[in-house]
Amino acid sequence: MPKILVLILVGVLMIWGFNARAETTQTAYDFTFHALQGGGELPLAQFKGKVILVVNTASQCGFTGQYDGLEKLYTKYAPQGLVIVGVPSNDFGNQEPGSGEQIAGFCKLNYGVSFPMASKEDVIGDNAHPFYKWARGQVGWIGSPKWNFHKYLINRQGELVDYFHSVTKPDDVDLVDKIESLLAEPTP
């Protein structure tokens, strides 16, 4: 196939990804993860009225240092209503091979992680956690995780309002500005 046709096809698929948002009445509050430690549930509904940043994480990734920035972001903005939920995943490069206990120990010891962490989940493909299937339906293929440390931003109403690819650091001005603007909105 000539290169130009491939480029046109890729362009059409990217546009389709932006426009293929699913019409749904679901919100992020309809989804529950399992907690990384303790085996209990981690329902996103417990964070109603807060701004939520859901991040798929990995302990052996070039982006793993983002745990430090995520913890700083959480520490700074949690009093205003920000919750970060880390979702370990082994989907990309097998960079999260550990057990829940190993992951929790690594995060606490190396980065002092205090924000909620879910159990290890698939975030892409047929076996993806339902939250990630819903999120992909909202933002299309282009907005779905392509690697570890992809970020979904949820407003105080439980709506997915933005996403940030792995290369976006937690202190990125666009991410911080978006979080601050959502935190400035009144709690429903």
Contacts of 178 (CB under 8 A, 6+ apart): 153, 161, 162
Give the C-alpha separation, 77 to 153, whole Å: 14
pLDDT at 5 over 80: no
Could you tell me the residue range of the domain that residue 165 belongs to?
3-184
Extract the tokens encoding 187. Answer: 């709690």
What would the pLDDT profile of 51-105 be if each residue is shown by its tens digit?
Answer: 999 999 999 999 999 999 999 999 999 999 999 999 999 999 999 999 999 999 9
Total-model pTM: 0.87
pLDDT above 50 (res 25): yes
Q: Are the C-beta atoms of 173 and 73 separated by less than 8 Å?
A: no
| Type of residue at 7 | L
| Active-site option among 61, 82, 85, 135 | 61
Give the CATH number of the domain where residue 172 resides.
Answer: 3.40.30.10
Residue 22 is classified by DSSP as: P
User: What is the total count of domains within the chain?
Assistant: 1
Per residue in 123-141, pLDDT (tens digit) is: 999 999 999 999 999 999 9
Judge whether 61 counts as a catalytic residue. yes
pLDDT range class, residue 32, cuts 50, 70, 90: very high
